Each structure stands twice: as C-alpha cells, then as structure tokens.
Chains A and B, each alone.
Chain A
C-alpha cells in the first residue's frame, strides 16, 4: 500500500496531541460515570466516540490492566447493590415468613414459622423470576455497550493475555455476584421456584412458563469458567431437577400402581412421558429431555411393567381376551421404548400362548376320553370330533394372535418369532397333532369342501398348511396322510381330484418333492388303473362277451401305498368260483402286458354290487368284497337253512376281525338285516347261526350297506403303536442315510459337527433326538461305513 521509497520525503512521527501521561483517575471517572448512566438507561446522552477514545488512550498509555480490573470491580459492586436493593425484598416473599404469636393466656411467646398461603408464595415466586430476568436483560445490554466502548482494550489487551473479553467477563460477574451471591442466595431461590412451578404443573395446574423459560435461558447462557460445556444450568440447576424428578416419579409409580388398573396405568404413563417431553422441549433445556425421559421410563415402565403385564384382573391376559387393542398397542409401544428386545412382553405372550394351547390340547383329550354319549357320539366319532375341535381351535388361536400382532404390535419380528416358538411348542406337545391334522384335511376332502368354490377350498387348505408348518414330526403326518388318501382314492370318496392335487402342490411347496412323490405315485396308479380297465373291458368284450359279472380292478404299486394295505397274511379270502374265474382272467391279462410283476389281491378295500331277489322285490345291494363273499355262500343254501359263524369262517377263510365286522353290518345293523342272526344280539359269537332274510324290505331299490365302523376313526392304541413303530423304522433308515451321505461328502468330521449336520438335514422331516443319532452312528461304526480316528476319539473317517 505504501508507495516505494523513491521520493525522499522525510517521515515525520505523528503529532502527539496528548501531552505526557494521562491521568488514569480522571479518565476512569469519565468512564465509570458513563457506565452508571448506561445502567440508568441514559445512554443516549453519551458520546460513543469520546468514551471509546478515552479507553483507547488509557490502553495506549499502558493502563489496560488497571482499566480492566477497575471495570470488574465496578460491575461487581453495582451488581451487589442491585441484588440488595431490588431482588432481596422480593426473595423474602417466596420464603417462609416468620411470625411471632402468643400461645394461650400465659404470656408465652414463641416463634413459629408459618408458611405463606400457597398461592401468594407462587405469585411471589413468579415475580421474583421476572425481576431477575429484568436485571439480567439490563445487564446484558449494558455489557454490550461497554464492550463496544472498550473494544480497543478487548482487541489489544485481552486477546494478548488471553483474558476473557469484556462481555464474557461481564456475564461471569453476573454469575458470581448475582446468582451465586452468598448473602442472598439468589440462585437457590431461582432453582427452588422453578422446581416448585414444575411440581405445580405436574399436579395439574397451569403455570407461567414464559417466566421460567426466560430464567432457564439465562442460566444456560452463564457458562462456568474452566469447565468446558458446563453452564450454571447444567451444573447447579439440572442435578436438582433430576433429583427431585426421581423422587416424584418414585412416589408416582407407587401411587399409580396402587390406584390404577393396567389399562389406566399405561394411559397415565404415556401422558406423563408426553408431559415431561413437552416440558423439557418448551421451557427447560433441550439437553434435559433425554435425561428426564430416562427417569420417567425407568420408574414408570422398567420397574413396574412386569406387574402391569402379569396383573390378573387387567393385565396382558385380560387385554387379549377382551380385545383391548388400544391397550395392547400402548403396552407394546411403552415396552419397546425401554427395551428394544421387549423381553418381558415376549415372555408373557409366549407363556400365555402356551397356556392357552395346553388348554386346547387338554380339551381335545377330554373329548377323547369322555365322548358325549347323549349326542350319539361313539368313541370313534368322538375322536374325529376331537380332531376337528382341536384343529379349529388352534387355527382360531393363531388367527387371533395374528390379528393382535399385526394390529397392535406392528408385526414386530421378535414377537412373531416368540409366538411361532410358543405355537410350535404346544402343538408338538400334542402328540396326536399329525393325526388330527390329517383327519381334518381328510374330512374336508371327503365332505367339507363340497360345493365350495375353488377359492374357498383353497382358503381352507391354506389354513391346514399353516398348521402343518408348525408340526416338527412331518413324517408322522406323511404316514397318516397317505393312509387317509389311500382310503379316499380307493373308496372314491374324494369330492374333487383338483382339490386333492391342490393339496399335494401346497405340501410340495412347503417341504419339497421328496415328501410328495409317493402321494403323486398314488394318483398316477389310479389313473393307470383306469386306463388298464378300459383296455380290459375291450378285451372282455372280445374274448368273453357272455360274462355276466363286471370286474373293475385298481392296480396299486405297493411302494407308494401305505404299508398296511399290502401285507398278505391278513387278507386271505376264498372266493366263490365265479369270482375266482374272472380274477384269473384279469391276472392273465395283466401279466401278459407287464411280465415280471406279481399281483396280490386285496379284498378289504373293494366293494360289490349284487342283485338280490327277496320275497317282495329285487334289490341291488352295494356291499364290501368280504360281505359279497359271505352272501354268495347263501346262494347254495336251501330256504330255511343256516350257517354258523364257524362254518362261514371255514368256507371263506376271512380273518376274524373282518368277518365280525361284515357280519355285523349284514345281520345286526337294523336297517340292513340281509341275514337273520340267531340269537339276535350285537356281538358275534362262534355258535351264532345266520340265515338269509327273505322277508327283507326297504323302500329303496338300491341299497348301500356300509361296513360297520368304516369312517376313518382315529387309531386304536395298538394301531397307533404300529404306526409309531413303522415311523421309527423309517426314521432309522433316514438317519443312517443322512450319516453316510454327510460322511461321504466330508470324509472326516468331528462328532458334534456330524450330529449338527444330521439334525439339519433331517429337520424337514422330523426332529431327531441326540440319542437316536448316537445309536445310529454306533450302528454305522459296527457296519464299517465309518471308523473312529486313531488320534482323536471324537473324530470319524469315512470308509469307502
């Protein structure tokens, strides 16, 4: 900026107009008077420039330090005067006032502290706050003005020596001489008043929040020396506030838990949370908000929520039972605030679901044990009814909880998991669950879904699948389902092929196709049989057109169909010669087509239509194969003759249990007494005689004679044991296969890892227990599929 020193002009020092040393006291007098005037709000009469120059000169003359200290002393004194004259009188209105009073007539004087009336006290409090605020505002204003005048000193002296600037020094002086004034305890008064007001508001009154806010702002502006980030607010006031809040909420928690039921408690808790939040945000410091929220949460929620949930009269159980969706929503919200993992709530839900599930299981078992005979429910029907009841109730429970989960708990995943676990647990506790579910589906496919649209049918099946997912021992289910399906297919009882296939598809989606190959095989067999029958019929037309008996055969691949159908011993039967002849004919026909296959006839699943001439008229009877064989015996008998049970048995070789059943349906069941039994009784004994009932009458021409107890009953104990054994055997094979598979792939594995892998592989079928796996590993060791490692007893090697 200066021009280069080309021109040789003499540089003269500036003319110094100030002569010699300046008189500090004079200058100071000027300044201090000015400051007084500022405080008295008479600044407009002052010349900024003059004051600025005065200060400037003092600093130039090296009197800065003195100036600084004089300034501080001046302000300190001024503030103390203010406190004494303006604030102290107001302070006394907020404290307890002392009165002397005379007691009795004996002239005894004593001094009692009598609190002023509450309202007066509060009025006084607010007035005090406002007065302090007024002084504070004035002070800040003056400090700004003084800071402007003394700016030169700030710039040159304070910055250099790192002293606080004038403005900041002024604030610190206010802090020390007003707020922390030992004589008059202004600060303490302020804190007490604010806390008092807060208490009022907590009790429900309206308070002057602007006054409090102003005071809080002031406290926040006063920083502490040498402590970073702390203000008078955070250091002196906030701790008191938090302490008193803890006290308040401790009592409040007690009060609420005593007086309110769970629903009320939750509502009030939310209200308090809201209130404290608003208070902190609106007139306290925002920094206090998380702290006070934490206090409320800890007291009202964390400490007490368990008893709120568990309350019998109004807790979680009550809310669920009575559909208190709002309450549940609120409960969830509050729990989630303090505990993102909502362990308490989850635990309670889990427990409740298991409890309800156990009740459902219990009810079903009760129905099984004590069927309601008055309604004509037999033991077998009862079992089926129990199955239905169970399935419906479980699904109902699930739907209820789904509604609650989605409606009130936001579909929270953790709760979802908890519920799923609870459902899994009690469903699998019911060890007849697979059987029940299969029965449910079976009944629907036979009767229940009749007349429903495809969508409706699908909906019902979807519900069944939902239940299926929870079942751990899926292979049990498979066994039952196969048996029921076989009976449906063979008896032609399924209402719709499409619906059956829909079910299979859904099962496939759930557990993969290995599960459903056999089932699909069964369907294929039926179709193939149909095709063969067409061919056979054509063949018969050509070779034996005179034949009077129509034969329809279903050829089943034995591996696909339930094991019980293919054991040979229990299905002996000696057929009448005419039947035998056509049987042979078909066998020959079939074996010609598929050499190498062996056919085994299975009489217990077939039926026959017979035309029978009674005295009155002819009827066409539809009976089981066995029944047909029995009836044909009577063809050769003369009228009036009879056969004993033993004779019938000898002639037909029908096993006892089947024989009894069929004789019962032919001779005992009231409406269909084709045979007359002597003696007439329900049981069949060896000596009973049977004769043809030529007097039989019925209004229908075509009569179906069902075999007694043909509906799918739930299994008897022995049958169930049989099923379990089969399932166990299958499981053994599957476990073995899994072990070998895994070992082959990994070559070497440690025992625990092997167990884990096996469990994982089998999980879609059933849940293997550790003992079973261990046994199978031992078996594998014996059979030398694997060996123990020499170095480590816990490791296994695969043996090729």
Chain B
C-alpha cells in the first residue's frame, strides 16, 4: 500500500475553496483515508492523478491539517519529548471533525 518511493513523491490536497496544498506522500499516509485514496492499487481517479479534492474542508482548516500531518510524521519515531501542537481554539472543533473524517488515528 505505501509507496516505496513515498519519500520523494508529492501529492496534492485541494480544499473546498480551491487552495491546493502539496505534501509528501508519506505525510499524507498518516491519514488512513488519504492513504487509501492515494494508494496505487486502487483504481480511483485520485490515485491516478495523485490529487485529492476535499470539498468539505476549508483552506484554512486544510492548512492546519497538513501542518499536523507533518508534525506527526516528524515525531513518529520518538514518542517521548515532543513539542506541543498548537491549535487555535476557534478551529478546534472543525479540526476534530475533519480528523474524524480523515481517519487520523493519532489525534
């Protein structure tokens, strides 16, 4: 499922208001949903284009999500001393829903 060349490859996430964010494939794979969508073994359109459209997530939110994905990826290996992930309170609830949608296991 995980692409072997995932380290270097980039995928694109598109928000509801048209913002496109380019992130590492391995970062995207932190989210179970995104991983499935982009997996090369599925035949869906997303996988072919390496591009996921998310019409229920705003640009601001999506940016925060991407930030989180990188944060998670960076600290995957040592669960000990990691810096806090800053979440602005007004975004908190929406972020929660989004992460539920995206099957972010580590939230």
Contact = CB atoms under 8 A, between A and B. Distances in A.
A and B: bona fide binding partners: yes
Interface of A: 1-3, 5, 7, 9-15, 17, 38, 41, 43-49, 52-53, 56, 144-145, 148, 151-152, 155
Contacts of B42: 43, 48, 144-145, 148
Contact of B52 (A14, A49, A145): A49
A151 B36 contact: yes
B14 to A, nearest CB: 10
A10 B90 CA distance: 7
A520 to B, nearest CB: 84
B90 A48 contact: no
B45 A47 contact: yes
Interface string B39-58: 00011111110001111100
Given A2-B92, A9-B89, A11-B93, A46 B45 contact: yes
B43 A145 contact: yes
A53 B32 CA distance: 14
A15 B97 CA distance: 11
Given A7-B89, A17-B56, A48 B103 contact: no
Interface string B72-99: 0000000000001111111011100100
22 contacts: A2-B89, A2-B92, A3-B87, A7-B89, A10-B90, A11-B92, A11-B93, A14-B93, A43-B43, A44-B44, A44-B48, A46-B45, A47-B44, A48-B36, A48-B37, A48-B45, A49-B46, A49-B52, A52-B33, A53-B56, A145-B43, A145-B44
Contact of A148 (B36, B84, B97): B36
Contacts of A7: 89
Nearest to B97: A14
Contacts, number: 80
A516 B86 CA distance: 101
A53 B86 CA distance: 27
Given A12-B93, A14-B93, A53-B101, 14 more contacts: A1-B84, A2-B87, A43-B43, A44-B45, A47-B53, A48-B47, A49-B46, A49-B53, A49-B54, A145-B42, A151-B32, A151-B103, A152-B33, A152-B101
A38 B45 CA distance: 12
Contacts of A11: 89-90, 92-93
Contacts of A10: 90
A38 B84 CA distance: 43
A44 B45 CA distance: 5
Nearest to B92: A2
Contacts of A5: 89
A441 B42 CA distance: 91
B58 to A, nearest CB: 9
A9 B101 CA distance: 25
Contacts of A17: 56
A5 B97 CA distance: 20
A49 B55 CA distance: 9
A746 to B, nearest CB: 74
Considering the complex of A and B, which 10 residue pairs feature the smallest CB-CB distances, nearest first? Answer: A43-B43, A48-B44, A48-B37, A14-B94, A148-B36, A44-B43, A48-B46, A9-B89, A47-B45, A1-B85
Interface in B25-40: 32-33, 36-37
A138 to B, nearest CB: 12
A46 B44 contact: yes
Contacts of A9: 89-90
A53 B37 CA distance: 12
Given A46-B45, A49-B54, A12 B90 contact: yes
Nearest to A56: B101
A7 B93 CA distance: 16
A462 to B, nearest CB: 71
Contacts of B107: 1
Nearest to A53: B56
A7 to B, nearest CB: 7
A151 B39 CA distance: 14
A45 B45 contact: yes
Contacts of B53: 47, 49
A10 B93 CA distance: 12
Nearest to A13: B93
B8 to A, nearest CB: 23
A9 B93 CA distance: 13
Contacts of B33: 52, 151-152
